[in-house]
Amino acid sequence: MPEPDLREVALLLREHDDVAVATRELTAGEVLRHGGRELTVLTTVPRGHKIAVHDLDENAPIHKYGQVIGRTTTAVRAGDHVHAHNLGMAAVDHEYEFGTAVTPIPPATGGMRTFQGYRRSDGRVGTRNYIGIVTSVNCSASTARMIADQFRGPIMDIYPNVDGVVALAHDSGCGMVPASEGGQILLRTLRGYANHPNIGGILVLGLGCEMIGVDTLLAGLPENSDTVVERLTIQDTGGVRATVRAGTAVVRTLLERLNERRRETFPASKLVVGLNCGGSDGYSGITANPALGHASDLLVAQGATTVLAETPEVFGAEHLLTRRAVSKEVGQKLLDRIAWWHRYVEAGGGTLDNNPSPGNKAGGLTTILEKSLGAVAKGGSAPLNAVYEYAEPITDSGFTFMDTPGYDPVSVTGLVAGGATVVVFTTGRGSVLGGKPAPVLKVATNTETYQRMSEDMDLDTGGIVTGSLTITEAGDRIFEAILAVASGQETCSEDLDLGRDEFIPWQLGAVT
C-alpha cells in the first residue's frame, strides 16, 4: 500500500506553516509523504492535534494559520507531536496597524432576505416574545424563580404567541457601590435585559432595601419603549408567599396582553447576532469558526449587525482586528480593553496566557495565541465598525466587538444585554449552553461531537475536514439557520428548556 500524503491525514493551513493538524489519530511509526520526502510519525498524534512538518530548534517560533502561535521549549523533530510538552507562549509584541485591511462587504445581490419577528416601538425587532422577571437584587431571586415556575409546562399552551416566562435572577445588587465599575456593569446588564427586543413585558422584583433598587433599575429604561412594565417589592407586598401570589397574578395579566402580539415580516438588516464559542478544539479555527465568519459576512451584506466577544480569547490576534478597524479610535478602543484585561488578571495573580482550558488542550489547542487566531475567524472579513464595553447597547450595524470575559454564560449574558436577538455558539468539545430570551444556535466543529451530542447540537461543520463540505457551504447553512431561528424555529437548547441558569452578569469590584 502506498504511503499516504500528509494532506490526506492532516491539514496544512498555510503553505509555510511549521505544523499540520491531524484529521485522524496518527500512530507512531506511520510513514507519510510530504514535499517529496518521507515524514515518519515519531509519537502518536491525537486527532485535532499538531504534527511538526520539519525540524525546529529550541526557542524557534511555530507558525499556524501563517501566524506565530508560540515557541518551542525544546528541539522538535519532523513528525513529532507538537503540544504543551514542547510548545510554549511567545512574547506578544505586535506593531499595530489601523484600517490597513478594511475591505467593505458589498450589499447582498439576488434580493434582500427576511425573517418573521416581533415589532418594537423603537424600530428594533425581536425574535422571541418573552416575559421577564427582572430581579434588582439576589434577595428577590428565589421569589422570582417561584413565580416563573408557575408558568412552565402545559399552562403555556393557552398562550401560543408567548415564548415563556424567564426569571432573570443573579447573585448581586447589594453590598456594592452602584456608581462603581461593577455596579454600572450590573445596571447596564439588568436594563439591557429589561429593554430587550425579545422581552415584551417585565415584572421588576426587588426586596425593598437594596442598593440597586427597583426605581434605580427602571430609571434607565427609555420612555418610548412599548415594554409592559410592572413592579413589586417583597417587603411592601408582605413577604415571599404574598409576593409569589401577587407576582403570579401580574404575570397572568402580562401573558394575556403579550399573547395578542404577532410575528411580522422584516428585513434581515434588523437582526443583531452574537458570535461566541466555547469548548473549543483543534478544529474550531478550521471548520465552525470560519464558517460562522462567512455567515457573519452574509449578515453584514444584508445590513445586519454581528458582534464578536470574549476579549481574552482574541488576545494575540488583536492585530488582525485593528487592521480591519474603520478608524484609529475604534482600533485603539480594542487595544485599551486588552490593556485593561492585562491589569485585571495581573491583579488576580494570573496572565492572559493562562488560557486555554484543560478541555481546549485535550482537543488540541496549546497556547492562547493559537486559540485566539481560530476564535477571531468567527468575525469573517468585514470592517470592524465599533467596540463596546460589556452590556453596552449595540447601536452600530455591521461587524462589531463587545468586551466580555471568555467564560461562556457571562459572555453571552453581555451580548444579550447589549441587544443580540440570536446567538450562534461554536463548540468542538461540546457545550450545553442555552439562552433566554435570545435563542442560542450551537454549531459543532467536528462530526464526532455532533453525533455524540446530537440532541444538543444544531449544525455540523465536520465535513469541512473530510472534504464533503466547504467553508462557504457550511457558512451558507449557518446563515439560513439563523434566519429560521429568528423566525421562530426552536434550537436544541430551547427544546431542552435551557437558559434559565445561564443569565450570569459579570461581577467586578469590591463587595462590602
The model's pLDDT over 70-113, given as tens digits with 9 standing for 90+, comes to 999 999 999 999 999 999 987 767 789 999 999 999 999 878 99
The per-residue pLDDT for 413 is 98
Give 198's contacts (C-beta < 8 A, 6+ positions apart).
118, 126, 127, 128, 129, 130, 163, 421, 437, 438
Please indicate, yes or no, whether residues 245 and 276 belong to a single structural domain of this protein: no
> Can you tell me the distance from the alpha carbon of 156 to that of 121, in angstroms, rounded to the nearest whole number?
25
The Cβ of residue 487 has, within 10 Å, a number of other Cβ atoms equal to 15
Q: What is the pLDDT of residue 510?
A: 76
**Is 472 in the same domain as 356?**
yes
Q: Is the distance from CB of 441 to CB of 424 less than 8 angstroms?
A: yes
Spatial contact of 415 and 423, defined as CB atoms under 8 Å apart: yes
Last residue of some domain: 227, 260, 293?
A: 260
Strand partners, 38: 33
Q: Is residue 120 part of a domain?
A: no
- Do 151 and 209 have their domain in common? yes
Beta-strand ranges (E) seen in 251-295 are: 264-267, 272-277
8 Å CB contact between 164 and 257: no
Establish if 15 belongs to a structural domain: yes
Question: Domain range spanning residue 390?
Answer: 267-495
Number of domains composing the chain: 3
- Tell how far CA 10 is from the center of its chain: 28
Q: How do residues 325-384 score in pLDDT, each as one tens digit?
A: 999 999 999 999 999 999 999 988 888 876 678 888 888 988 888 899 999 999 999 999
Q: Which residues make beta-bridge pairs with 231?
A: 204
Tell me the CA distances in angstroms from 81 to 38, 76, 286, 322, one per residue in order: 16, 9, 19, 33
Up-side HSE of residue 461: CA atoms within 13 Å toward CB? 32
Average model confidence (pLDDT) across the chain:
94
- Tens digits of residue pLDDT in 251-264: 999 999 999 999 99
Q: What is the mean pLDDT of residues 286-291?
A: 96
| pLDDT given for residue 70 in this prediction | 92
Cα-trace Rg, the chain = 24
Q: Are residues 238 and 283 in the same domain?
A: no
For residue range 51-74, what is the model confidence (pLDDT) as tens digits? 999 999 999 999 999 999 999 999
Q: What is the pLDDT of residues 199-240, one digit of tens each?
A: 999 999 999 999 999 999 998 788 888 999 999 999 999 999
Co-location of 300 and 203 in the same domain: no
* pLDDT tens per residue, range 289-338: 999 999 999 999 999 999 999 999 999 899 999 999 999 999 999 999 99
- Residue 90: what residue type? A
* 511 has a pLDDT exceeding 90: no
Q: Tell me, yes or no, whether 248 and 379 share the same domain.
A: no
Note whether 203 and 232 are within 8 A (CB).
yes
- pLDDT tens-digit map of 399-419: 999 999 999 999 999 999 999
- Reported as type and span, the H/E element at residue 68 is strand 67-72
The pLDDT tens digits for 152-180 are 999 999 999 999 999 999 999 998 888 89
For position 91, what pLDDT does the model report? 75
* Cross-strand partners of 201: 131, 228
Q: Which residue has the higher pLDDT, 177 or 420?
A: 420
Question: Given 54, 88, 122, which residue is the final one in a domain?
Answer: 88
358 and 231 assigned to the same domain: no
| Residue 439 shares a structural domain with residue 382 | yes
| 369 and 235 within one domain | no
Same domain, 256 and 301: no
**Position 449 in a domain:** yes
Residues 287 and 248 placed together within one structural domain of the fold: no
Residues 33-43 have pLDDT tens digits of 998 899 999 99
Write the CB contacts of 8 (distance below 8 Å, at least 6 apart in sequence). none
How far is Cα 40 from Cα 43, in angstroms, rounded to an integer? 9
Q: How confident is the model over 189-199, as a mean pLDDT?
A: 97
267, 302 Cβ separation under 8 angstroms:
yes
CA distance readout (Å), 270 to 18, 326, 370, 394:
43, 22, 34, 12
Span between the terminal Cα atoms of the chain, in Å: 71
Residue that finishes a domain, picked among 242, 260, 278: 260
Look up the CATH number of the domain holding residue 66. 2.30.130.110
Q: Which residues contact 169 (CB under 8 A, 6 or more apart)?
A: 133, 135, 138, 140, 141, 142, 144, 145, 503
**Residue 504 belongs to a domain:** no
Is the sign of the CA dihedral 375, 285, 420, 304 positive or negative? positive
What CATH number did the domain enclosing 201 receive?
3.40.50
Poorest-pLDDT segment among 46-55, 353-362, 449-458: 353-362
In this prediction, residues 452-457 reach a mean pLDDT of 97
Torsion of CA 332, 334, 336, 339, to 10 degrees: -130
Do 309 and 411 contact (CB within 8 A), yes or no? yes
Alpha-carbon gap, residue 412 to 438, rounded angstroms:
9
Position 480 in a domain: yes
Q: How far apart are CA 434 and CA 192, in angstroms?
A: 18
CA angle 312, 313, 317 (to 5 degrees): 105
Residues 55/39, Cβ–Cβ less than 8 Å: no
- 272-309 burial: b if 16+ Cβ within 10 Å, else e: bbbbbbbbbbbbbbbbbbbbbbbbbbbbbbbbbbbbbb
Shared domain check, 296 and 234: no
pLDDT confidence bin for 130, thresholds 50/70/90: very high
pLDDT at 1: 58
Q: Under a CB-based contact definition with an 8 Å cutoff, are residues 261 and 118 in contact?
A: yes
pLDDT digits (tens, 9 = 90+) for 469-491: 999 999 999 999 999 999 999 99
Type of residue found at 267:
P
Q: What is the pTM of this model?
A: 0.94
Q: Does residue 396 belong to any structural domain of this protein?
A: yes
The pair phi, psi for residue 398, each rounded to 5°, is 85, -165
Residue 55 lies inside a defined structural domain of this protein: yes
Is 164 contained in some domain?
yes
CB 163 within 8 A of CB 199: no
Q: Which three cell numbers stand for residue 7?
A: 494532506
Distance of CA 106 to the CA centre of its chain: 25
